[in-house]
């Protein structure tokens, strides 16, 4: 694992928000790291393949990346903001219904975020 791979992973693991490739690129560049955007993408793709991080694709917005700890997401239908939330784990029921031992899933709940709710009212 290289210098940049480590930095990128650390950023994602330690971040409270959901970072896009560009967020990561800009953060590292601000730290005077001479990293290229393509390198960020390369690393993110590799880590997703290896199952070290998770990609969050939301329609209309650039992909964001997330840690693996089990949780679900609220997605703001206005601004695309993602918020972590934890609903009951349904892996067991789903797996049972599909006739397999283990099942992975992605649950997104559409929910107007605080900021957009304010703007509206």
Partner DNA sequence: GTGTGTGCAAATGATTTGCATATAA
Partner DNA sequence: TTATATGCAAATCATTTGCACACAC
Q: Which is nearer to DNA, 59 or 101 (CB)?
A: 59
Q: Which is nearer to a second copy, 36 or 109 (CB)?
A: 109
- Here the tokens at position 78 are 């206005």
Please list every residue from 45 through 104 that binds DNA, using CB under 7 A: 45-46, 60, 62-63
Other Cβ atoms closer than 10 A to 48: 14
Tell me the sheet residues that pair with 85.
Answer: 72
Spatial CB neighbours of 117, under 8 Å, sequence gap ≥ 6: none
Please list every residue from 82 through 121 that binds a second copy, using CB under 8 A: 87-88, 90, 93-94, 97-98, 100, 103-111
Q: Which is nearer to a second copy, 29 or 112 (CB)?
A: 112
How many Å apart are CA 52 and CA 68, to the nearest integer? Answer: 7
**Site of interaction with a second copy (CB under 8 A):** 55, 57-59, 63, 74, 87-88, 90, 93-94, 97-98, 100, 103-111
């Amino acid at each position: 694992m290289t210098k940049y791979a480590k930095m990128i992973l650390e950023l994602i693991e330690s971040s409270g928000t959901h970072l896009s490739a560009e967020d990561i690129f800009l953060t590292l560049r601000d730290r005077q790291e001479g990293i290229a955007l393509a390198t960020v993408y390369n690393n993110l793709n590799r880590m997703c393949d290896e199952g070290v991080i998770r990609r969050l694709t939301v329609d209309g917005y650039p992909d964001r990346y997330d840690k693996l700890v089990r949780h679900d997401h609220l997605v703001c239908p206005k601004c695309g903001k993602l918020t972590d939330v934890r609903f009951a784990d349904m892996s067991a029921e789903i797996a049972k219904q599909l006739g397999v031992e283990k099942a992975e899933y992605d649950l997104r709940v559409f929910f107007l975020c605080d900021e957009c709710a304010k703007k509206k009212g």
